Structure 1
Amino acid sequence: MSISTAVVLGLIVIAVLYAIVTYNGLVELKHNIAKAWANIDVLLKQRHDELPKLVEVCRQYKQFEQETLTRVTEARSRVARARENHDVPALGAAEGMLRMGLGQIFAVAEAYPELRANEHFMQLQSRITALENAIADRREWYNESVNINNVRVEQFPDLIVARLFRFDQQPLLVFSSAQKADVDLKKLFNA
């Protein structure tokens, strides 16, 4: 075997090994994104199950704002649809609406001392707040996984393997500025 043949074979082996390592890395990223989404999904499902209980406790106080409860119920339905369809952009919008609705429920509840004294309401509020924090953590992990994937499928020479095996960019879970803003308590109580 000549030196040039050995060099060519060596380069082919290196290229194949590089393609295998790159492919395996992209597969791992794809599964990390799926795992991050599944973690968000579990928490959204748990919150989805808790919200009707919170709405029902609030509804027991007849004068509690029905419009606020209706908004939360509608947003909950939108989150469920987006979650079931794995529609990341729609989930971001629906999550923002739900977050605002929950903020309004908790803010309006301040005007109802009997409701705030209700042990069941306080437990649900704590549970939902804990779920909200966990969802925020999982969204951050999801977006980090998506970002790493998106960078890898655009970087040369990884993009060659990514295109060859159809590894695509994934959407980030984003929220508009209005959806990220704190609830305006002054506006709520003056309305």
Structure 2
Amino acid sequence: MVNMMYVAAAIAAIVILILIVWFFTTWNRFIRLEENANKSWSDIDVLLNQRYDMIPNLVKIVGRYAEHESGIFQEFAKARQAAAGALSRGDVKGVAAAEGLLSGMMPRINMVAEQYPDLKANANFMDLQNKLVALENQIADRREFYNAASTNFNKAIQMIPASIVAGFKGCVRRELWTVAAHVRENVEITF
């Protein structure tokens, strides 16, 4: 009888030890997944801030040639300000919406530039345009990494039994960066 009690106690101790190891392993996995998503967002933050710093220079250069197009530049400034504000708050949906507005305005800036051959020949303008295109490509790549990292985190915190640990840790589902509906629409070109 005493041996059975020792065996039962040993089994219970092993089960408890296994549960403790599983709990902490799962906790640490959530930390790793969450930090991957945070790093991905931080990478986007850096690139978007670089882009937001370049946009006023682009607007200033274009504005010198197309002073009568000031309405476009005011809209552009408001969209940039909204995007920067959402970015500083870490508001993924707000950044995505503002970025959609900015992306929709870039073709308008380029159309204005097309109307001014001197502007198209301006080395500063061309340099800024090329840098913005390169940044756009990097942002698209980082956005993909962020969404992948966030999706991995979101899946992990919902799976049973790991969701129990996620509840203890206070894990919250992360928002994905989605493209605004108006950005998906075809651009209408008229001649």
TM-score between both structures, scaled by the size of structure 1: 0.91
Structure 1 residue 111: deviation in Å? 2.4
Q: Is 2:120 aligned against 1:106?
A: no
Structure 1 residue 63: deviation in Å? 5.2
Structure 1 residue 64: deviation in Å? 5.8
Match of residue 140 from structure 2 = 136
> Unaligned stretches of 5+ in structure 2?
none
Residues 146-155 or 169-178, more deviating: 169-178
Q: Is 2:92 aligned against 1:92?
A: no
Match of residue 76 from structure 1 = 80
User: Please, which of 10, 14, 29 is the counterpart of residue 6 of structure 1?
Assistant: 10
Match of residue 37 from structure 1 = 41
Give the conservation status (yes or no) of the 8 Å contact 2:79–2:102.
yes
Alpha-carbon RMSD = 1.6
List per-residue Cα deviations over 1:124-169 (Å, max 9, x = no partner).
0001111111111111111111111111110001100000111111
Change (3 A) 1:87 1:54: same
Give aligned pairs, total: 187
Structure 1 residue 107: deviation in Å? 3.0
Structure 1 residue 182: deviation in Å? 4.8
Distance in 2 between the 1:80 and 1:176 partners? 17
Distance in 1 between the 2:44 and 2:116 partners? 32
Secondary structure of 1:175 counterpart: coil
Larger Rg: 2
User: Please, which of 161, 168, 177 is the counterpart of residue 164 of structure 1?
Assistant: 168
> Unaligned stretches of 5+ in structure 1?
none
TM-score between both structures, scaled by the size of structure 2: 0.91
List per-residue Cα deviations over 1:46-69 (Å, max 9, x = no partner).
011101110011011135632222
List per-residue Cα deviations over 1:1-24 (Å, max 9, x = no partner).
632222221111111111111000
- Matching of residues 149-160 of structure 1 within 5 Å: 149-160=153-164
Percent same amino acid among aligned pairs? 35
